[in-house]
Structure 1
Amino acid sequence: MNQPQRNVLTFQWNPAESLGGDVFLTPVYFNRQVLVRYLYDSRFTCDFASETYGTVHGDDFYISFGINANGSVLAWLGDLQSLPVRECFYWLVENKDPEGDAKSEFYDAQVNAKFTEPPAIIRALNALSKLNAGFHKKFGVHLYHERSIEERVEETRRYKRLLLNNVDDFKRFVSELNEIINENANNPELRRLLDAKGVTTQSGSKGNKLLAAVYDAVLHDKSNLIAPFFCLYDLRLWADHSMSEDMIKNVAAKLGGSVDDYQRLLELLIQAINDSSSQLLELVENAA
């Protein structure tokens, strides 16, 4: 029986799990807390392609990982060996005994070449997460409260396949998305930043109104990049409070969609949020 071994960096791994005898392709297992650093430290970003496949990005490295049925994080031994030494030690702290269970979309993509493009909503949430991390790294302020590992994984699982069968599905989704994004704005930090910039805001302002003021005062946004987020908010009002049909018609016109096709309207909304998040990140990176 093959016994678990330790490599020079003392990761625990089992040679019996090496694919085709290739030590590089040996899964190494970790507590899922290994991802906490990459979710909450603005020097890094953590993108989820699915609920069991993601990638961590740093300034000088990246590494893909999987999440198996036990909730353990796994990565290839060869990829771990190529990490900067400081990151290796961080991963080492959360290293677990070999589990013999690498099944995940990470495994399917990297071994079986079953690549799955992340759904549009997950790409949009990843883009927003990158914006949040980038803004914090540059200005020391989080635009949005950061979401936990469990929340990120659940969102990826929940929206893996987004099909709208009727108007009720559309209403439910825009309400959920509004809660994930707009209701998660970091109002206290946004107000402090605006105060420090000498920007006066109307009493009681929050969420998108504060974000719009920040994008204007700090990023000098001239393209009204906050607009898609206001569209989402208006759709939530329409969905949850039986507002006039004029509200959804107005949003549809702004997005270039039609109230007769909810699936397409949702796709346009998600793409607009993704595009705005990416363009805002560019403004952050180019800011003085």
Structure 2
Amino acid sequence: MCARRPGSGDTKGETPDPRCSCGDWFAVEFRERLEMHGMVVTGSIPVMACMTCKNTVVPDSVARPVSDAVQAARAAGQKTCEFAPREQRFGLCAAAGFKYCSADCEVTAGLSHREGEAEGHRVPVFFDWDVLLWYRRRGEYSVDMRGIHGQIAFPGGASLDYGVNRHGRVFCWLGDLDRIPQGEQERMKAHNVESDHDVVSGLYKGLLGLNPEGSAEERLKISLYELAEVSRAHAGFAIHGLGHADRRLAERLERPGAWRRDITQALVNLVMLCIETIDTGRIKGSMPGPNGETRGSLNTLTSWIKIKLSADVASLMVPFFVLNDWRNYRVHRDGDGKLLERLRKGRACLGMGEEDDDDEKMYDLLLESLARSCRNLSSDIVEKRHVFKQEQDLYGGNPAAGTTA
């Protein structure tokens, strides 16, 4: 497959691979202008775009109708052609009326109609994180979260597979939604959001015959995304302020290739993502008096958890401190006595022997612990959601005004 940049010559149709030549995955984007078949085409043209190198591919499903429109415009003596894809509505989940974009199914590699499936079965329907939180809070349901995909089990035996994409959005296939009870469709409709156009997740990879579980790095990334969404929704701000650059860093996280050579950079990247993105300003602003003067992002978050959540601070925060200590040991003074002692204690906290210097083992345990801490912190915030709501209602978005140390 050859991915091309928009406007770089005569862009023709292709049957795209789900991954770009740079190794990243494609997502659907809409272009306002492309040059195709010797004519400038304007409007809203769906393409497969790489989030990393910005290369694009116009798939055959788009190139064919664009070619017809260009020929018609040329026959009419026009110098440019305007094109807009036909948005389709399918018979699936007709009563619920979910929001979705049919172009996602038509353009994304691997989502085209398959024999035996209803039209529109693989259209992705997107939801905010609260849809999972709603079901997790109720004992009659179960939510099996497996990192970058999972399953909701309903009373009566029905179930629904879901994926979590690179932006932290939850989505399901329209055809799968059609199989759950009508009442559950209506509940999920309350959390339905506009299409995110990105389906890269365990659900999508499983459809392509790849490992749906995802890597440890992917599972940590999704747990961070969940924490950011949950804290934004209920605490009034995202604990981790994951900007565009931070999310790109999250997508580039990868397991060290050579442990002695690559572990230091891997730890630096993890600290940048898991610790340096902590929004200390917003956290301090939500705490009163001297608590708001705490120094350091980890100490600040620790104080906030004690005051706002009354949760088990040690189990939640230890993995973050272990990560920070390990990074410091590797970066600043490799071999320093005090840093080595802290590293040994960190190994013990992860269930290792203090003298066990197996970096690969420690890395795996640490990522698992970080992801678990993020998930547990999300759950604790959800448990206190009514308290956060009362504070926001009483103090106009300044919960520190009504909190005592």
Structure 2 length normalisation: TM-score? 0.50
Deviation at 1:106, TM superposition (A): 4.6
User: 1:6-43 CA deviation, whole Å, 9 max, x = no partner?
Assistant: 225795465x93101523555558xxxx98x95xxx74
Report the number of matched residues. 253
> Which residue is 1:142 aligned to?
238
Counterpart-to-counterpart distance in 2, 1:79 and 1:152: 29
Alpha-carbon distance change, 157 to 56 in structure 1, aligned in 2, over 3 angstroms: farther
> Which residue is 1:233 aligned to?
324
Counterpart-to-counterpart distance in 1, 2:231 and 2:130: 10
Q: Quick check: 1:266 aligned with 2:363?
A: yes
> Which residue is 1:98 aligned to?
none
> Is the Cα contact below 8 Å between 2:319 and 2:370 reproduced in 1?
yes
> Is the Cα contact below 8 Å between 2:228 and 2:239 reproduced in 1?
yes
Q: Which runs of 5+ in 1 are unaligned?
A: 68-73, 96-101
Identity of aligned residues (%): 16
Counterpart-to-counterpart distance in 1, 2:383 and 2:191: 28
> Which residue is 2:344 aligned to?
249
> Which residue is 1:286 aligned to?
383
Alpha-carbon distance change, 110 to 65 in structure 1, aligned in 2, over 3 angstroms: farther
> Is the Cα contact below 8 Å between 1:128 and 1:274 reproduced in 2?
yes
Considering Cα pairs closer than 8 Å and 6+ residues apart, tell me whether 1 or 2 has the greater RCO.
1
> Is the Cα contact below 8 Å between 1:219 and 1:284 reproduced in 2?
yes
> Is the Cα contact below 8 Å between 1:24 and 1:79 reproduced in 2?
no
Deviation at 1:171, TM superposition (A): 1.3
Aligned structure 1 segments of 4 or more residues deviating by more than 3 angstroms: 1-5, 8-14, 24-29, 42-45, 47-50, 54-57, 61-67, 74-77, 79-89, 102-108, 150-154
> Is the Cα contact below 8 Å between 2:246 and 2:273 reproduced in 1?
no
> What letter corresponds to residue 381 of structure 2 in structure 1?
V
Secondary structure of residue in 1 paired with 2:309 = coil
> Is the Cα contact below 8 Å between 1:23 and 1:77 reproduced in 2?
no
Counterpart-to-counterpart distance in 1, 2:151 and 2:208: 19
Secondary structure of residue in 1 paired with 2:291 = coil
Q: Quick check: 1:78 aligned with 2:168?
A: no
User: 1:226-277 CA deviation, whole Å, 9 max, x = no partner?
Assistant: 1211111111211221251334223223323244200011112112212322
Say which of 186, 194, 204 aligns to 1:90.
194
> Which residue is 2:266 aligned to?
173
Structure 2 matches for 1:1-288, cutoff 5 A? 6-7=88-89, 11-12=101-102, 17-20=112-115, 22-24=117-119, 26-28=121-123, 38=128, 43=130, 63-64=162-163, 76-78=173-175, 90-91=194-195, 106-110=203-207, 112=209, 114-148=210-244, 151-152=246-247, 155-156=250-251, 158-159=253-254, 162-195=255-288, 198-202=289-293, 205-224=295-314, 225-243=316-334, 244=336, 245-257=340-352, 258-287=355-384, 288=387
**Going by fraction, where is strand more abundant, 1 or 2?**
2
Counterpart-to-counterpart distance in 1, 2:192 and 2:312: 43
Cα RMSD (Å):
4.3
> Is the Cα contact below 8 Å between 1:48 and 1:55 reproduced in 2?
yes
Range 16-25 or range 103-112, more displaced: 103-112
Counterpart-to-counterpart distance in 1, 2:270 and 2:224: 12
> What letter corresponds to residue 303 of structure 2 in structure 1?
A
Counterpart-to-counterpart distance in 1, 2:325 and 2:374: 18
Alpha-carbon distance change, 249 to 199 in structure 1, aligned in 2, over 3 angstroms: same
Rg comparison, structure with higher value: 2
Counterpart-to-counterpart distance in 2, 1:65 and 1:246: 39
> Is the Cα contact below 8 Å between 1:66 and 1:75 reproduced in 2?
no
Range 261-270 or range 220-229, more displaced: 220-229
Alpha-carbon distance change, 220 to 88 in structure 1, aligned in 2, over 3 angstroms: closer
> Which residue is 2:40 aligned to?
none
> Is the Cα contact below 8 Å between 2:131 and 2:191 reproduced in 1?
no
Secondary structure of residue in 2 paired with 1:23 = coil
**Going by fraction, where is helix more abundant, 1 or 2?**
1
> What letter corresponds to residue 264 of structure 1 in structure 2?
K
> Is the Cα contact below 8 Å between 1:141 and 1:193 reproduced in 2?
no
